[in-house]
Each structure stands twice: as C-alpha cells, then as structure tokens.
C-alpha cells in the first residue's frame, strides 16, 4: 500500500493507492481509473458469510460469483493429449449442483478439495441439464474477506475476480477521508440521506442488511440528481435561444382547413391543439412530446400546428422514420388539405401552400425541385426522413419541426435538429410508443409531455390471438382461412415476417431481435422473399399479393403502398417497414409470423396498423416457441391487453434498462449503476423538483462544483468537458 495521503479525493488516480498491476487490470477490464470510479463500482450483491449461493437462482449466461462447497473432484486425462484436467462438483447444500472444469490443475488439485467452501466465478452455462461455470476462477474465502459478516460480490471480468476488486476497494476506503458530498446538506437533511463517505463505506462493507439498503437509497440520489440536473441545464439552454412566435392568424389556412375537416376532432385533439397553439405563439421555443396510442389521430394534430406556422409565413418540416411513412404522410397531408395544398396549381385555394416530399428515391430533377421549394419558402410543409432533411435542406424560414414516431430520438439528436440559427424552431415530437412516467422524466426529461388518451369514436377493439404452431400445427390453416375471410368481406391484410430474405441470414430491416438466449441454434427467422411466393402458390392462391421490404427501391415501396392504399392489393407481405404510422383504414387483418422475434412495443405498433377504420381488426401472432418461454410470455402479454401503457411498462421490465437510459448517454460507460426506471419513480420525481430549483437559483451551477461533477458522470464527453471546465 502506498502513502495514506490526506489529500486523497475522488479524482485521485488509482495509482496513488493501489498497486500497479491492479491498476492496469482495473483500467483494462472495468474501465476504472480514479478513486471515484472505483468507489462507485458498487457490489452487485452480497453473500452472507456461511450462507451458500442458491445455485437454482443462477441465470444461464450471467457472469456469476458463487460461494459453494466442493463435493467431489475428479482428475481426468484429455483425449489425445497428455494434459490432465480437473472436474469439480459444487453444491449449495440444498438442491443445486454446479460443475466446473479446471485445466492445468497441477497446483489447484491440492487446494480445491472436498469440503472446502470457496468463491467460484465464471459464466453460467448448462451441459446435459447440469449448470456449469465456464472459465472458472477460484478464490478461497478466508484470504479474501477476513471476518466481515457479508462478502461483497463485485461485477468482475475474466482475469479480474470479485475478490481482487474488493481488495482494491478496501485499500482505497482505508485511506480515503470523507469525500466532500456533492448533494447539498439541506437536500440530504430533508430526504434523510446519509452523507457520501458513510454511504460508500456501507455499500462496500456492510455490517447489516440495513447498511446496504440505506447506502443504496442514498447513492441512487447522486445518479438521479445527475440526470435531472443535466436535463434542467438543457432546458435552461434551450430557452435562451428565442423562437419566432407564430400566433394564430384569423382567416388563415388553419381556419380554412378546420372548415373542411370531414370529422370532428376528439376532445383530446382539441385540448392538445390549444396547448400547441399557445406554445407556438410564444418566443420560448416549444419543446413538446405528444404521446397518443396508435390510431389516436396525431397526424391531424400535427398538421394543424404546422398550418398555424405556415399562416405566419414560416415553414414546417415533418420528419418520418422511414421513406414509406414519409411518402404516406405527404400523400395524406395533401389529401387532407385538398385545394389548400395546391398553391400555383389550377384549382388551388387562394391562401394555399405546398407540401413537398423529399425522398431518397426522387429523380435528381424532382429532388432539385423539392429542395428549391423548401429554400424559396414555396413549400409551407416539407416532409421527409430525418437524414434527408437534416443534411440537405435549407429552409427559407423554418418555424416548426415535427418528429413523428421516433421514440428513440435522443436528446442530442433533438439538439441537432434545432439548428444553429439565431432563432430556434419550435419542436414537436409525436410517439405512439407509450412512455412510462419515469422514462418521460429522464430520456424525455427536457420535453413537456401531452397525452392523447382517447381514440376517435367508432373504433372497434382488435382481437389478438397467439397461434402456437408447436402445440397446434393445424391452427396455421385457420390463419390462412381467416385471411381469405377478411378479403371476402372486402378488407385487406398485412402479413409480417422478421426478415427480408435473399442472401441475408439474420438481418431484418430493423427488427429489435429480443435476446431470449439460445437463439443461435434456432432456424433463421422467416423471410418475406421465401414466404410470399409460397403463399401465392399455396394457401393464398387467387388473392392479389404485394411484397414490401426495406431493400426495395423507394419508388417501388411507394408503388406497393399506394396500390395497397387504393385497395388494388388484398394482402401485403412485409417486414417491419410497415411498423409505424402506416394508415390504411380498410386493412383489418394482421398476421405476424415468427412473432416471438419481435419486441413488445414493435408488436403493439404492428397491431396498431389494423382496426383503424370502422371494421374490427384481428391480429394473429404465429410462433413455434413453447409455452412458458420468455418469448411466449411476451406474446401472451400482447394478446391479453391493448393498453399501450401497460405494455410499455412490461417492456421496460423485460428489457435491460441500459437500452432505455442509453439514449441519454453518448456511448460511454454508463454513469448509472443503481438508478432504475422501474423502481425509483419517486426519487426521479423528487430529484427533478430539486434540480429545477437549483438550476433556477444558480444557472450553470457555478457555486455547486459537486453537483457539476454528478452531471459530468451522466452526460456525453463533449458536454462533460463543458461542465468540468466551468469553475
């Protein structure tokens, strides 16, 4: 051990305390470099001294450290080689048996003996029905932990064991004076939180269970505050750049549009419409998320906002996630607007504007025309995909950006969209993916949220059924019969496959490919290019079939969608290119093949493509996964409820949190270790309140160095530098 310096603090490089070999390993394997990094590397769990790890609870695929008793060891000869290896059978003294194999047992065979209790680490796998640890590492217990009541088990890596990490942590804690606490004393008092030094000691070296629970509930605040302060600072920055106000213009396009709307707006559409009208009239840039379940009627809400901006002589851009959706939006906006979108054309209304579509597939001449219309301001509304609009378009005067159906649209992308001009455009994000409250407060924490709860009247529920072909192979015939029934009744059907086909083996257009383990040995997912011809020749012979996937040239995609829209096709066999936003009210059937290959929210989105008109929809989830598997649980959940909020919550439970919170962070090691979107709703909400107050009192956090440090843990590198530099 090196000098116990009194000036040790969280920024001190580990080399000041820990031996060089360990420092190298901690940096290389766990990306830990400073004292702060290491003390914030919390134990994953604790083993009570004496209590063996419950082997039945170990998950296949996890890297686990278990405290177990050696039952028996066997030395064996390798086939075709002189080397020996040692098989070790472990028990937890209940039901569990675990096997490990050590190669080069020359030294270990004298240490690992029946009756020994020790820590074994490795990746959990199964072989012939028995759990085993691959690449096991072994440590005797007593060397590693003295006589503490709990053994802390750390996230470890191959070549760096939990106990090695623990030793380094203890060395650091031995010499670390109480670090200065980033959380204001007032906050800690109100919330009843331990100070940082004590919490760190207790989370690493608990004496009682209450110690580590208490420590965690304090340390989770550091993360929640980091997130909320980062967001509060962003909100603050966003307001600093003013927007051009676009108030309601009497006698304008918007009023003309409302007069020709074929239906009455729902109460929700009207309410959100009023919110948007107020936001747009302000010089504070609007920053709003409208969330409404599939089919809630978000398009018309967005269009009305766009028209208010156009009435002020400015432009609006509508960004769609796919070319298919962009083309469809352009079509449906034009048809909703009718003569109001025909500026300069015969029959165009007097105050009419134009809707331009910017699509990758346009001919060079058409693209040039669209770009010119955007530049000159002739196009009041420009529709396109994100990439296209972001890179290529100069607007005459952009007043509003609408982002449709892009629930993975991170904070940074939103910043980029707002551009660098003197005035910021207003921003409206629309999503049908319901967002649990905690996610709304984190990933979308810089946005105001409006919810569009009710669906337009007359919607009929969608009946969803799981078709389990493993148990009931004959049900597949019923699926095709059902497709025929829908078509005979004058309706249309989507059939979705996870993969395009042709030469690719796995790549779908953008399927989420949930990982249920053991995916490798399964057959490749069904592909559009294989399924479609089979159906056309077989069970769906006689129906008019179209094919749609991401690899088709854009004009062909558009032609297929157009034909389906017009009722010239009965069935379209597609990938998830039809996942979001596509709106063909006459489509009533959705058959999803290999449904287990899709994520929860994808399935909900796909199902939302039907039942949009006045006829009831049917959704059939075809899967050969056996009951009880995680994939089937997901399908049963989708079949059991059409409540998007319920499904979103489940999705959050089934998905790793990192996927969700990752959107906040630009590809660096996560500063979030304890904060859970599922479990810390209360902390997130409360820290949001504190963050708003702190930033209002101390813009830029000039007087709160500790809090700036917490923010730096959360945000991406570029922004991080900005916070660290400021003193």
Q: Which residues bind ligand ADP (CB under 6 A)?
A: 263, 265-266, 269, 292, 294-300, 432, 456, 581, 583, 585, 612
Residue closer to ligand ADP by CB (options 403, 677) is: 403
Taking the complex as a whole, the smallest distance from the CB of residue 290 to ligand ADP amounts, in Å, to: 9
Interface stretch with Mg ion, choices 163-171, 227-235, 474-482, 578-586 (CB under 5 A)? 578-586
What's the rounded Cα separation, in Å, for the pair 577 and 580? Answer: 8
In angstroms, what CA-CA distances link 434 with 290, 396, 595? Answer: 10, 35, 20
Taking the complex as a whole, the smallest distance from the CB of residue 454 to ligand ADP amounts, in Å, to: 10
Residues paired with 119 in a beta bridge: 67, 139
Q: DSSP 3-state assignment of 359? A: coil
- For residue 612, the partner it binds in Mg ion, ligand ADP, none, with Cβ less than 5 to 8 A by kind, is ligand ADP
- For residue 296, the partner it binds in ligand ADP, Mg ion, none, with Cβ less than 5 to 8 A by kind, is ligand ADP
Q: How far apart are the first and last CA of the chain?
A: 33
Q: DSSP 3-state assignment of 214? A: helix
Q: Which of 640, 639, 525 is nearest to 593 (CA)?
A: 525
674 and 220 in contact (C-beta within 8 Å)? yes
Tell me the residue number closest to ligand ADP, measured at CB: 297
Residue closer to ligand ADP by CB (options 304, 704) is: 304
Burial class (CB in 10 A: 0-12, 13-18, 19+), 506: exposed
Beta strands 315-320 and 379-385, pairing class: parallel
Compute how many residues bind Mg ion; rule: CB under 5 A.
Answer: 1
Taking the complex as a whole, the smallest distance from the CB of residue 330 to Mg ion amounts, in Å, to: 13
Q: DSSP labels for 41-73?
A: S--SEEEETTPPP-GGGPPTT-EEEEEEEEEEE
Burial class (CB in 10 A: 0-12, 13-18, 19+), 442: buried
Taking the complex as a whole, the smallest distance from the CB of residue 603 to ligand ADP amounts, in Å, to: 15
CA-only gyration radius of the chain, Å: 30
Tell me the residue number closest to Mg ion, measured at CB: 581
Interface stretch with Mg ion, choices 61-69, 314-322, 474-482, 573-581 (CB under 5 A)? 573-581
Tokens representing 624? 């050969």
Residue closer to ligand ADP by CB (options 299, 308) is: 299
Tokens representing 349? 């209304």
Residue closer to ligand ADP by CB (options 609, 688) is: 609
- For residue 263, the partner it binds in ligand ADP, Mg ion, none, with Cβ less than 5 to 8 A by kind, is ligand ADP
Taking the complex as a whole, the smallest distance from the CB of residue 581 to Mg ion amounts, in Å, to: 4
For the chain, give me the number of helices (H) and strands (E)?
25, 20
Taking the complex as a whole, the smallest distance from the CB of residue 89 to ligand ADP amounts, in Å, to: 57
Residue closer to ligand ADP by CB (options 456, 662) is: 456
309 and 315 in contact (C-beta within 8 Å)? yes
What's the rounded Cα separation, in Å, for the pair 648 and 165? Answer: 37
- For residue 294, the partner it binds in ligand ADP, Mg ion, none, with Cβ less than 5 to 8 A by kind, is ligand ADP
Residue closer to ligand ADP by CB (options 116, 265) is: 265
Tokens representing 627? 């009951």
What's the rounded Cα separation, in Å, for the pair 294 and 612? Answer: 9
Spell out where 376-532 has E strands.
379-385, 398-404, 426-431, 448-452, 462-468, 492-496
Taking the complex as a whole, the smallest distance from the CB of residue 299 to Mg ion amounts, in Å, to: 5
Taking the complex as a whole, the smallest distance from the CB of residue 608 to ligand ADP amounts, in Å, to: 6
Tokens representing 356? 């331009």
Taking the complex as a whole, the smallest distance from the CB of residue 404 to ligand ADP amounts, in Å, to: 7
Taking the complex as a whole, the smallest distance from the CB of residue 298 to ligand ADP amounts, in Å, to: 3
- For residue 585, the partner it binds in ligand ADP, Mg ion, none, with Cβ less than 5 to 8 A by kind, is ligand ADP
Q: Which of 611, 612, 539, 68 is nearest to 298 (CA)?
A: 612
Tokens representing 611? 């039942």
Taking the complex as a whole, the smallest distance from the CB of residue 562 to ligand ADP amounts, in Å, to: 16
Taking the complex as a whole, the smallest distance from the CB of residue 573 to ligand ADP amounts, in Å, to: 22
Residue closer to ligand ADP by CB (options 136, 611) is: 611
Residue closer to ligand ADP by CB (options 295, 380) is: 295
Taking the complex as a whole, the smallest distance from the CB of residue 174 to ligand ADP amounts, in Å, to: 59
- For residue 384, the partner it binds in ligand ADP, Mg ion, none, with Cβ less than 5 to 8 A by kind, is none
Taking the complex as a whole, the smallest distance from the CB of residue 263 to ligand ADP amounts, in Å, to: 4
Residue closer to ligand ADP by CB (options 321, 445) is: 321
Residue closer to ligand ADP by CB (options 181, 293) is: 293
Interface stretch with Mg ion, choices 190-198, 576-584, 660-668, 714-722 (CB under 5 A)? 576-584
Q: How many CB atoms lie within 10 A of CB 338?
A: 15
Q: Which of 93, 116, 98 is nearest to 59 (CA)?
A: 98
- For residue 575, the partner it binds in ligand ADP, Mg ion, none, with Cβ less than 5 to 8 A by kind, is none
Residue closer to Mg ion by CB (options 371, 402) is: 402
- For residue 269, the partner it binds in Mg ion, ligand ADP, none, with Cβ less than 5 to 8 A by kind, is ligand ADP
What's the rounded Cα separation, in Å, for the pair 436 and 481? Answer: 38
Taking the complex as a whole, the smallest distance from the CB of residue 634 to ligand ADP amounts, in Å, to: 22
- For residue 295, the partner it binds in ligand ADP, Mg ion, none, with Cβ less than 5 to 8 A by kind, is ligand ADP
Q: DSSP 3-state assignment of 123? A: strand
Tokens representing 603? 């399935």
Residue closer to Mg ion by CB (options 122, 581) is: 581
Residue closer to ligand ADP by CB (options 164, 322) is: 322
Residue closer to ligand ADP by CB (options 164, 269) is: 269
Q: Which residues contact 565 (CB under 8 A, 6 or more apart)?
A: 328, 331, 584
Q: DSSP 3-state assignment of 201? A: helix
Residue closer to Mg ion by CB (options 285, 581) is: 581
What's the rounded Cα separation, in Å, for the pair 596 and 633? Answer: 9
What's the rounded Cα separation, in Å, for the pair 135 and 123? Answer: 7
Q: How many CB atoms lie within 10 A of CB 74?
A: 10
What's the rounded Cα separation, in Å, for the pair 71 and 441? Answer: 51
- For residue 694, the partner it binds in Mg ion, ligand ADP, none, with Cβ less than 5 to 8 A by kind, is none
- For residue 385, the partner it binds in ligand ADP, Mg ion, none, with Cβ less than 5 to 8 A by kind, is none
Q: Is 581 in the site for Mg ion (CB under 5 A)?
A: yes
Residues paired with 140 in a beta bridge: 118
Instruction: Catalog residues that contact Mg ion under the rule CB under 5 A.
Output: 581
């Amino acid at each position: 051990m090196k000098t116990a310096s009194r000036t040790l603090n969280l920024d001190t490089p580990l080399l000041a305390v820990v031996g060089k070999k360990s420092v190298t390993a901690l940096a290389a394997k766990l990306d830990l470099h400073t004292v702060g990094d290491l003390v914030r590397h919390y134990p994953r769990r604790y083993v009570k001294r004496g209590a063996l790890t419950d082997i039945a609870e170990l998950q296949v695929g996890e890297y686990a450290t278990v405290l177990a008793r050696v039952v028996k060891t066997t030395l064996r000869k390798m086939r075709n080689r002189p080397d020996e290896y040692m098989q070790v059978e472990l028990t937890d003294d209940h039901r569990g048996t675990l096997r490990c194999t050590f190669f080069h047992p020359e030294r270990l065979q004298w240490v690992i003996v029946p009756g020994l209790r020790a820590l074994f680490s490795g990746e959990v796998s199964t072989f012939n029905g028995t759990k085993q640890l691959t690449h096991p590492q072994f440590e005797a217990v007593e060397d590693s932990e003295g006589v503490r009541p709990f053994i802390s088990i750390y996230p470890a890596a191959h070549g760096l064991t939990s106990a090695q990490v623990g030793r380094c942590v203890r060395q650091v804690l031995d010499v670390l004076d109480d670090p200065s606490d980033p959380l204001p004393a007032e906050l800690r008092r109100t919330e009843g939180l331990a100070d940082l030094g004590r919490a760190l000691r207790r989370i690493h070296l608990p004496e009682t269970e209450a110690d580590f629970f208490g420590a965690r509930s304090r340390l989770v605040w550091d993360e929640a505050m980091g997130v909320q302060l980062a967001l509060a600072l962003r909100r603050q920055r966003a307001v600093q750049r003013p927007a051009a106000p676009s108030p309601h213009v009497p006698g304008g396009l918007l009023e003309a549009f409302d007069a020709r709307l074929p239906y009455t707006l729902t109460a929700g559409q009207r309410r959100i419409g009023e919110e948007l009208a107020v936001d747009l009239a302000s010089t504070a840039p609007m920053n709003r998320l409208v969330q409404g379940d599939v089919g809630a009627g978000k398009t018309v809400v967005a269009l009305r906002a766009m028209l208010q901006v156009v009435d002020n002589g400015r432009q609006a851009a509508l960004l769609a996630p796919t070319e298919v959706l962009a083309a469809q939006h352009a079509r449906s906006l034009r048809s909703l607007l009718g003569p109001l979108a025909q500026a300069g054309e015969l029959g165009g209304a007097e105050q009419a504007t134009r809707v331009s579509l910017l699509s990758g597939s346009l001919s060079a001449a058409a693209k040039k025309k669209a770009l010119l219309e955007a530049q000159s301001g002739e196009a009041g509304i420009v529709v396109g995909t994100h990439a296209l609009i972001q890179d290529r378009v100069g607007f005459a005067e952009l007043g509003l950006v609408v982002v449709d159906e892009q629930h993975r649209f991170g904070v940074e992308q939103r910043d980029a969209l707002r551009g660098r001009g003197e005035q910021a455009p207003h921003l409206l994000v629309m999503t049908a993916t319901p967002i649990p409250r905690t996610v709304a407060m984190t990933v979308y924490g810089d946005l105001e949220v409006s919810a569009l709860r009710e669906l337009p009247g007359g919607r009929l529920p969608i009946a969803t059924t799981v078709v389990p072909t493993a148990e009931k192979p004959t049900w597949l015939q019923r699926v095709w019969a059902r497709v025929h029934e829908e078509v005979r009744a004058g309706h249309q059907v989507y059939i979705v496959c996870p993969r395009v086909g042709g030469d690719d083996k796995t790549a779908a257009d953008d399927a989420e490919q949930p990982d249920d383990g053991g995916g490798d040995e399964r057959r490749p997912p069904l592909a559009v290019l294989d399924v479609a011809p089979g159906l056309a020749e077989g069970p769906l012979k006689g129906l008019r079939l179209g094919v749609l996937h991401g690899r088709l040239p854009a004009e062909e995609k558009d032609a297929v969608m157009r034909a389906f829209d017009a009722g010239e096709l009965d069935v379209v066999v597609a990938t998830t290119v039809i996942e979001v936003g596509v709106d063909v009210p006459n489509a009533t059937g959705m058959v999803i093949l290999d449904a287990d290959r899709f994520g929860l929210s994808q399935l909900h989105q796909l199902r939302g493509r039907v039942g949009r008109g006045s006829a009831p929809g049917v959704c059939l989830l075809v899967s050969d996964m056996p009951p009880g598997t995680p994939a089937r649980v997901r399908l049963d959940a989708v079949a059991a409820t059409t409540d998007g909020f319920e499904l979103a919550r489940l999705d959050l439970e089934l998905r790793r949190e990192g996927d969700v919170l990752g959107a906040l962070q630009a590809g660096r090691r996560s500063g979030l270790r304890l904060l859970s979107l599922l479990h810390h709703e209360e902390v997130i909400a409360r820290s949001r309140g504190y963050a708003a107050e702190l930033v209002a009192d101390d813009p830029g956090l000039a007087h709160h160095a500790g809090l700036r440090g917490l923010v730096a843990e959360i945000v991406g590198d570029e922004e991080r530098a900005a916070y660290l530099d400021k003193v």
